[in-house]
A and B are shown apart, each in its own frame.
Chain A
Amino acid sequence: MNQVTAIKGRSLPAEFADLDKYLDWALPTERARSRKRLASSMEEIKAFYDDMLARIEPALDYLNGFPLDDMPEPQQNLLNLTLMLAEVANAVELFKTQPGVIDGFDPERFITDHEGGGD
């Protein structure tokens, strides 16, 4: 089901090596990030959210120095981690008790037609 998995040997920029343990959360598409969110426990999500929130401002300040549509791979991985924070934010901040939308429509039937941005 999950076509996009962590690629062995990937890395983050050296300044953000403390986030290396989350490399398998650095996923390149919204669908992959959403599936990771829904397949994780709230404990895992909360730990990722807390660690990313502590680093998100330095990460975005750092990434703003790179061209959005032509990031080197370590920087792209870090950007994908920041997008994963955007993905899990609602689970932590809004729904609180479960990863997905409470009483929500099946996300697998809600088809992404266009991702936009730098994807």
Chain B
Amino acid sequence: MGDFGEIHRWHKRYPQFGTEPLPIEPCISPEYFALEREKIFRKCWLQVCRVEDVAEPHSFFNRHIEICNTHVLITRGEDGEIRAFHNMCSHRGNKMEWEAKGCAKFHDCKFHGWIYDSSGRLVDVPDEANFFNLDKSTLGLTPIHLDIWQGFVFINLDKEPAQSLREYLGEVADMLDGYPFDQLKLGYAYKSNLNCNWKIAVDSQQEAYHAVHLHRRTLGDIAIDQTNPFMHALDIRFMGPHRMISLPFSGDYKPSPTAAISERFAWTIKKEKDNFLDPNNLPPGVNPARADNWMFDIYLIFPNFWLAPFSGAFQTHNFWPTGVDTMYQEIKMFVRPPKTAGERFALEHAKCLNRDTWLEDFSTLETTQTVLGSGAKSHFILQDEEILMRHFYQMIEDYTGHGGRAAGAAGSRNAKAGVAA
């Protein structure tokens, strides 16, 4: 795992990402946002739900994807197949199914009563004979590419995706296959609308430098000790457009009075001897440094999906842009469902600590956005532990073909950093 005190160790390992400041422009520019819409969100695989969200035949899940100007309807047909469609009636374009989720063998458009089945086929048109040469077999819901990895349902809004989901995930799938995602169930979830650019929120969840200060009250005792006072990472890896950071817990950790109660009655973040993961058969990407003081890993699956495996739980974040300075963030924690009151208490205790920590995280996002457009500063200054941001903005540049500089500014950061391939 190397020496936590060694400076610039990630730059030494990954010199291709440079040491220069990052332009602020991509977080405030409407033109840049339009490029992200066309070149990223309409091209990349996007995680929208889990298979459990459409567990039964005819169950469905509705997702408004504002940045792509569409509603996506995920359904499980009578045949058990999960499919995705634009949730748009073929007749006059009304948004067809209005419920957020549910179970329905048929969906009827509220405008004129056209009826579709759970496989997207148009099955009934009122006063059909009065149309002209209407061929119902060609007028089903418009399909969207959908694929599934480890129970995570992804869609791709491109007409012909350049890669399959498995090809797109690449090394991420190699690293995490074998983690028992299917044994954990949704324990708690939050959602919040935020007045900030979506990348500001992503950035707040891809470095631990902030934890030392912003989370000093909530996570200080858990994550920081004298040997690693700035919570330097255990490992950092880059996999195509994706990236990961592996994070430690404190060697000096002493549970609070209530945390000690949780530890007595249930699994907690600090109680490793739960046999959930076989230490001799870990997926290669779970605690990749094989560190003794591992706490969890954060995988950032490009562009907007955050996935963190712990020993007995995993957490997801989805960052959904709705405008250049508006977005919403979904947070979900998947756990072993509590079976006893003691386990229920421990889950609530962990949830309250997580929630209060997220309230600290969210506190800086909108305040940042309110001054980004001031013009007072043109760049973010990054230290070595924030290298995931360098990779993220590099990928955004690569996909958009835009360096984030104001019009007329010379050269892209890509060129300046000497990234050739």
Contact residues of A with B, CB < 8 Å?
30, 53, 56-57, 60-61, 63-64, 66, 68, 79, 82-83, 85-87, 89-90, 93-95, 101-105, 107, 109-118
Shortest Cβ distance from residue A29 to the other chain B in the assembled complex, whole angstroms? 11
If A90-B356, A105-B359, A117-B337 touch, does A110 touch B344 (CB 8 Å cutoff)?
no
Closest A residue by C-beta to B257: A53
If A101-B356, A104-B356, A105-B363 touch, does A79 touch B261 (CB 8 Å cutoff)?
no
Is B183 among interface residues, defined by CB-CB distance under 8 A?
Answer: no
Closest A residue by C-beta to B362: A105
Give the residue of B187, B217, B256, B345 whose beta carbon is less than 8 angstroms from that of A116.
Answer: B187
Q: Are A82 and B341 in contact (CB under 8 A)?
A: yes
Q: Are A63 and B341 in contact (CB under 8 A)?
A: yes
Task: Render B355-373 as a binary contact track against A, CB cut-off 8 A, 1 for contact.
Answer: 1101111110000000000
Chain B facing A: main interface SS: helix
Could you pull out 20 A-B pairs where Cβ atoms are within 8 angstroms?
A57-B264, A61-B342, A64-B342, A68-B339, A79-B341, A82-B348, A83-B345, A85-B258, A86-B352, A90-B353, A104-B363, A105-B360, A110-B355, A112-B190, A113-B189, A113-B330, A114-B186, A116-B188, A116-B337, A116-B347
Q: Please name the 5 residue pairs, one residue from A and one from B, whose CB atoms are nearest each other, closest first.
A: A63-B341, A105-B362, A104-B359, A113-B189, A114-B189
A109 CA to B342 CA, complexed, in Å: 29
Contact residues of B with A, CB < 8 Å?
185-193, 217-218, 256-258, 261, 264-265, 330, 332, 335, 337-345, 347-349, 351-353, 355-356, 358-363
A11 CA to B172 CA, complexed, in Å: 52
Q: Are B340 and A68 in contact (CB under 8 A)?
A: yes
* Most central of A53, A61, A79, A113 by chain B CB within 10 Å: A113
For A68, the chain B residues whose CB sits under 8 A away are: 338-341, 343-344
Give the residue of A53, A103, A115 whose beta carbon is less than 8 angstroms from that of B258.
Answer: A53
Q: Are A118 and B344 in contact (CB under 8 A)?
A: yes
